[in-house]
Amino acid sequence: MWQFLFFQIADQHFALPVACVERVLPAMEITPVEGAPSSLLGIIDVHGKIIPVIDIRKRLALPVKAIDLSDQLIIVKTSTIQIAFVSDQVEDVVSLSEEQVIPLQNFVQKTHPYVENLIQLDEHLIKLYDFPRVFDLEEMNIDPVVLGIKQ
């Protein structure tokens, strides 16, 4: 069994392996970084640690929306850094069998460059993104050193 954190952004359902999730926090003030690329919303301070907040909506080509107090920040860990993004709603942690995770190569055409697999949940297909690639700071032209973040 694999565990996934299910969440929503722009009325779409997404899943992230629980092993990648550091924590979920309520919306908080995000400090803009002057001169940063538009893919970076800013930074947050979590217990003295500076964490970049990426614009996941822009990265996944979803409609732009201002941050609400009801939104939540999901902090994920990559192999080198912690990164946060804004979610409209965190739904649940769900355990899935291997059969419920469908490799995308079973489909003729990829729907999005970052989609890795699909998850079959009831009668819904949920996109499972290649999150290490989605959160690749270099690909987003974000220099962690400029942010004061050690990799």
pLDDT digits (tens, 9 = 90+) for 11-21: 988 888 999 99
**pLDDT in the model for residue 5:** 93
CATH C-level class of 2-96: mainly beta
> What is the DSSP pairing of strand 89-96 with strand 2-9?
antiparallel
**pLDDT in the model for residue 108:** 46
Cβ within 8 Å of residue 123, ≥6 positions away:
none
| Listed residue (82, 100, 108) closest to 23, CA to CA | 82
Lowest pLDDT segment from 3-7, 26-30, 75-79, 146-150? 146-150
Neighbours of 91 (CB within 10 A): 13
User: Model confidence at 122, in pLDDT bands (50, 70, 90)?
Assistant: confident
Q: Which two tokens stand for residue 58?
A: 């822009």
pLDDT digits (tens, 9 = 90+) for 48-98: 999 999 999 988 889 999 999 999 999 998 877 899 999 999 999 999 888
